[in-house]
């Protein structure tokens, strides 16, 4: 099994192999090479992962997922669940989050605008996310943020299982286990059981759930150890 630095290098090589949509101006303003992946941030030994759709402008500038407006709401909720109070500073907020959870996305790049990557792009980078989850991360609880993040795991459930689950009225309280597999350098397949705990995306544009999200997050976090 390769180390995490090798995995990140392999992601970059794949990005350089064939063009796909990347928000070049944002990377230029952040002085970051557009094919440089922002694969994850946080603690690979943590039991809990927050899984989002893709990177935004703030994430590219900070070189880590989930640090913009929506990500900050997640971090604030997590800090409160740990300490039962608001973070006294941004430094405290980020230190607690990065020490105790894993943060990652379906694709480790920022798409132009706010449009989700096409399935073919997600498919290109899927093997690297599989390796991150199976070989490098020690945890097994994943809080997915939004429909795109949850349905990224569809290939690891039975046919139609995730779609059926997501139609449930209690989908944001219930949980679902999936068997995710990854292939090592020798071509051997390894499987790991993950428990998915879906939540809506905490975007201000998500009018249906935005106001309710903090309480929904606290309820989710009460279901897991971290």
The verdict on pTM exceeding 0.95 is yes
Count of CB atoms within 10 A of residue 15's CB?
21
Residues 25-75 pLDDT 10s? 999 999 999 999 999 999 999 999 999 999 999 999 999 999 999 999 999
Q: How confident is the model at residue 206 (pLDDT cuts 50, 70, 90)?
A: confident
| CB-CB contact of 143 with 78 (8 Å) | no
Instruction: Decide yes or no: CATH 3.40.470.10 for domain 4-221.
Output: yes
Distance, in Å, from the CA atom of 4 to the CA atom of 175, rounded to the nearest integer, reads 29
Name the one residue in this structure whose structure tokens are 């943590």.
Answer: 46
Question: Distances in Å between the alpha carbon of 121 and those of 109, 124, 158?
Answer: 10, 5, 23
The secondary structure element, H or E, covering residue 67 is none
**Domain residue extents for the chain:** 4-221
pLDDT in tens, 151-176: 999 999 999 999 999 999 999 999 99
């Amino acid at each position: 099994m390769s180390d995490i630095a090798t995995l990140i290098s392999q992601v970059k090589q794949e990005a350089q192999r064939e063009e796909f949509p990347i928000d070049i101006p944002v990377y230029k303003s952040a002085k970051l090479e557009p094919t440089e992946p922002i694969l994850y941030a946080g603690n690979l030994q943590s039991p809990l992962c927050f899984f989002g759709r893709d990177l935004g402008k703030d994430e590219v500038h900070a070189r880590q997922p989930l640090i913009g407006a929506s990500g900050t709401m997640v971090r604030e909720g997590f800090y409160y669940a740990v300490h039962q109070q608001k973070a006294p500073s941004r430094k405290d907020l980020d230190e607690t989050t990065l020490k105790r959870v894993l943060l990652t996305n379906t694709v480790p790049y920022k798409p132009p605008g706010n449009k989700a990557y096409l399935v073919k792009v997600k498919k290109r980078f899927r093997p690297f996310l599989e390796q991150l989850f199976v070989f490098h991360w020690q945890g097994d609880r994943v809080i997915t943020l939004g429909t795109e993040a949850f349905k990224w795991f569809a290939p690891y459930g039975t046919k139609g299982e995730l779609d059926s689950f997501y139609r449930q009225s209690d989908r944001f309280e219930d949980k679902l286990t999936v068997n995710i597999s990854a292939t090592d350098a020798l071509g051997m397949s390894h499987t790991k059981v993950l428990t998915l705990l879906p939540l809506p995306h905490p975007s201000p544009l998500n009018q249906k759930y935005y106001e309710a999200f903090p309480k929904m997050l606290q309820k989710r976090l009460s279901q897991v150890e971290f």
